[in-house]
């Protein structure tokens, strides 16, 4: 029998009816499925760590930076609230994404969250831009 190259579902043999087909949405073996679920859990934990870090930085900024850094404007408070809210959003997104991806893995219909991931990257970039004046004011 002729073998095809290794792909998403492992090495398949042409003419072998027991081999998974490219149209079969399930992984070739349970080990592959297990590894995919474990990778999904690690990804969720990364979202969780990032969200918690943003919340911690926001709380630290609110507690340790002078609130009147810019007279008449509560810049530090706004950044602190934005950090805590952003961290909360990341944790919620990670949780929802974990559940959705877990279901998709089980039925074999995984779809990447391109828009949501792009939006979160944009949010984090805004946080970085907002931090630049804060850094300049503290110098």
- Domain map (residue ranges) of the chain: 30-138
φ, ψ for residue 3, nearest 5 deg: -100, 145
The residues facing 7 across adjacent strands are 10
Tokens at 129, concatenated:
């831009």
Q: What is the pLDDT of residue 120?
A: 87
pLDDT in tens, 53-105: 999 999 999 999 888 777 888 888 888 999 999 999 999 999 999 999 999 99
Rounded to the nearest 10 degrees, the angle between the axes of helix 114-138 and helix 75-107 is 160
pLDDT bin (cut points 50, 70, 90) of residue 122 is very high
Under 8 Å between Cβ of 129 and 79? no
Residue 19 has pLDDT above 70, yes or no: no
Arithmetic mean of pLDDT, 26-30: 62
Q: Rounded distance, CA 10 to CA 20, Å?
A: 8
pTM greater than the 0.85 cutoff: no
């Amino acid at each position: 029998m002729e073998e095809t190259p290794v792909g998403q579902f492992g090495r398949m043999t042409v003419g072998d009816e027991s081999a998974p087909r490219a149209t079969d949405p399930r992984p070739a073996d349970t080990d592959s499925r297990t590894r995919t679920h474990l990778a999904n859990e690690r990804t969720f934990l990364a979202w969780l760590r990032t969200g918690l870090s943003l919340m911690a930085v926001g709380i630290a900024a609110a507690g340790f930076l002078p609130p009147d850094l810019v007279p008449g404007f509560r810049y530090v408070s706004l950044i602190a609230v934005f950090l805590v809210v952003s961290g909360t959003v990341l944790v919620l997104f990670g949780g929802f994404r974990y559940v959705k991806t877990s279901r998709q893995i089980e039925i074999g219909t995984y779809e990447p969250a391109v828009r949501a991931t792009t939006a979160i990257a944009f949010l984090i970039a805004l946080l970085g831009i907002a931090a630049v004046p804060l850094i300049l004011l503290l110098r």
